[in-house]
Amino acid sequence: MKKIALFIAFLSLSGISHAATVAWNTQSADTGLIDASAAALSVGNYVRIGYFATLTDSQIAADATTLAGIALLNADFKEFAHTTVGTGIPIAGAFDVSSNPTYSSLPGFSPNSQVYFWALDSTNNTSLANALTTVTQTAIGYVPFANDANWRFPASDVASATTIDLSSLSNANRQIIAGTYVPTSSASLTSAGFNSTNHALQLATVSAAPEPSKILLILAGSGLMLVRRRRRN
């Protein structure tokens, strides 16, 4: 069974300030992330955990379809940690890392928030910033913490723990469980966002074309420039 687990443990260390330690990984020999063609997501691509400060699921779904929208998503995303596919487990679609930031080191981060998982497939992975501007596919997923309390960041840097596993999106028969979400696919989780055959979170294509509203602005601006040139002539 393919699954990605995020184990969040808050450790109290003698003589050291408390820090949130997150061990997150794919927990089997199978891949947990696949691209739009159902191939394992290539080594080096970025994966992130955090939450969106203000955007709704419908806004996330709309913005995740274009590069311009990805920039808007990133501006609203409060990141807890990021890593790359292949870290800790040198195979495509998998990773195994431990991250331990303190909440005080994460400006504007609100504990007790919904946990979102965000995967990118990019042509330039030399940095997260470059990956975000060259992304060709993406997937964003979560289980509402009202349905599964584990999908919620702990309230503080004190001793507590929770385990988040992407296999919780489906049951033992690999059937989609109602109330789980992949906003990049639709308001509710569908086979377009979760591949029940491969039991993996599947990325969707990102278009490089501007959003329709921006295209209208460009056309309006071009028309205004044309009118001014004609008046001058």
pLDDT of residue 171 exceeding 80, the answer is no
What average pLDDT score do residues 122-132 get?
97
Residue 110 in domain: yes
Average pLDDT, the chain: 74
Residue 122's pLDDT band, with cuts at 50, 70 and 90, is: very high
> What is the pLDDT at residue 181?
55
> What is the pLDDT at residue 224?
47
pLDDT over 90, % of the chain: 26
Residue 218 in domain: no
Q: What are the CA-CA distances from residue 36 to residues 61, 72, 136, 139, 185 (Å)?
A: 16, 22, 10, 10, 12
Taking the C-alpha atoms of residue 105 and residue 111, their distance in angstroms, rounded to an integer, is 12
Residue span of the structural domain in which 84 resides: 4-208
Taking the C-alpha atoms of residue 84 and residue 44, their distance in angstroms, rounded to an integer, is 5
Residue 226 in domain: no
Phi, psi (deg, nearest 5) at residue 167: -70, -15
Residue 217 in domain: no
Q: Do residues 32 and 200 lie in contact, with contact meaning Cβ atoms separated by under 8 Å?
A: yes
Residue 220 in domain: no
Top mean pLDDT of 27-31, 67-71, 87-91, 116-120 is at: 67-71
Paired strand residues for 79 = 50
Residue 192's pLDDT band, with cuts at 50, 70 and 90, is: very low
Q: Is 50 left (phi over 0), alpha (psi -120 to 50) or beta?
A: left
Residue 213 in domain: no
Top mean pLDDT of 35-49, 96-110, 176-190, 192-206 is at: 35-49
pLDDT of residue 21 exceeding 70, the answer is no
DSSP state, residue 82: E
Locate 189 and state its tokens: 């989780």
What average pLDDT score do residues 156-168 get?
65
Count structural domains, the chain. 1
Phi, psi (deg, nearest 5) at residue 82: -140, 160
Paired strand residues for 142 = 181
Q: Do residues 40 and 193 lie in contact, with contact meaning Cβ atoms separated by under 8 Å?
A: no
Residue 15 vs residue 17, higher pLDDT: 17
Residue 153 in domain: yes
Top mean pLDDT of 97-101, 124-128, 146-150, 156-160 is at: 124-128
> What is the pLDDT at residue 46?
98
Residue 18's pLDDT band, with cuts at 50, 70 and 90, is: low
pLDDT of residue 218 exceeding 50, the answer is no
Residue 51 in domain: yes
Q: Do residues 115 and 60 lie in contact, with contact meaning Cβ atoms separated by under 8 Å?
A: no
Taking the C-alpha atoms of residue 34 and residue 197, their distance in angstroms, rounded to an integer, is 11
